[in-house]
Amino acid sequence: MLVAVVVRFSAWAWLLGALLLVTPAAAERTHVVGDGHTLGKIAKRYHVSIAALCNANDIQRNHPIKPGQKLVIPDASDKDGSRARAARQPEQAKVAPDDTPKPSTAPVSNGSGMQVLQIPGYGNAYYYEPTGPGRLALRPVMMYLHGRGGHPEADCKRWAAVARPLGWLVCPSGPGAMGTGRGWNNNWATAHRIAMATLNELRAKYGRRVQLYGNTLIGFSEGAYAAMNVGLREPRSFNRWLVLAANSTYWGALGEDLLGDVKSRVRKVYLITGEQDGVVNGTRSVREMLRKAQVATRISTPSDLGHEVDLNDRRELYRAALVWLNEG
């Protein structure tokens, strides 16, 4: 009889231990991001802190999230999200197919001073570190958005001598393949996500050497369309714009209304468009819209310049524009 009791007790003890072991996994929750969802709203819904939610998913507070993305929700007792993060990493390793490239933010040198950030889900961003005095201190970022069919790696090399004395130069890649180059697919929303993901990756790699706010967007042609729309929606991160071949139609019908909403946060805009460029009148319209919104604006329209960026013969023009934008 005593043996039977001991056996029965051991069985119950084993079952109880097993239940305790599986409880954390059973309690793990995930949330699928929907339209309009923010980290703040998600954290509030599940009664966890934003910091814990970010730590659990290995993202930063200002990291863009997108519909369809899955987020792990830490348990209420997991105050900083560290347990959820530790549990999540082995699962990621099991889910990823063997032939899927693993994203990495490690810089890769190509021997010319240029380095490469692999932006998860968005390809390569090419960048240069600042030069000159204070290069290891907090420095602003100049982000170049290439034109349609552009080559971000080659473009970054061309801009390096002009931009590096003032701060970081980073050149993300558009998502669309166009011949041997890249494009933005006329989609400013995707450009917005790529621009912010690139800035966040650079900051994650270099910390407080990378300025998060008050940076400069540079955009040419389709990249001008992308830069103008990203700048309107991120006037804190990018409140200075160098727009090359701007056109007032790039903002759409809501352009002036959106500009009115952010006019106190957009500090300076410099416009450069050649007189031989078909969008030069659209550029002048952009200048009037900016002046109406009381944004400090300068414009240059070289008489013999077409639809191009001439960093060979007019390097000083672009350098002076960036110097003016970065003053103050």
Domain boundaries, the chain: 27-95, 115-326
pLDDT at 231 over 80: yes
In terms of pLDDT, which residue wins out, 113 or 260?
113
Distance of alpha carbon 184 from alpha carbon 190, whole angstroms: 8
* Class for the domain spanning 27-95: alpha beta
Least confident of 36-50, 250-264, 310-324: 250-264
How high is the pLDDT of residue 256?
Answer: 67
Least confident of 47-56, 169-178, 288-297: 47-56
Q: Are 263 and 293 in contact, with CB atoms under 8 Å apart?
A: yes
pLDDT at 149 over 60: yes
How high is the pLDDT of residue 103?
Answer: 37
Q: Which pLDDT band, with edges at 50, 70 and 90, does 279 fall under?
A: very high
**Thinking of the domain 115-326, which architecture would CATH place it in?**
3-Layer(aba) Sandwich (3.40)
In terms of pLDDT, which residue wins out, 24 or 61?
61
> And the tokens for 314?
């007019």
Distance of alpha carbon 182 from alpha carbon 192, whole angstroms: 16
pLDDT by residue (tens digit) across 173-228? 999 998 899 999 999 999 999 999 999 999 999 999 999 999 999 999 999 999 99
pLDDT at 128 over 90: yes
Q: Please compute the mean of the pLDDT values over residues 293-305 and round it to a whole number.
A: 95
CA-wise closest residue to 52 among 84, 29, 26, 30: 84
Least confident of 79-88, 202-211, 251-260: 251-260
How high is the pLDDT of residue 54?
Answer: 84
How high is the pLDDT of residue 255?
Answer: 64
CB environment 287-314: b (16+ within 10 A), e (fewer): bebbeebebebbbbbbeebebebebeeb
How high is the pLDDT of residue 99?
Answer: 34
Q: What is the DSSP letter of 305?
A: -
How high is the pLDDT of residue 18?
Answer: 42
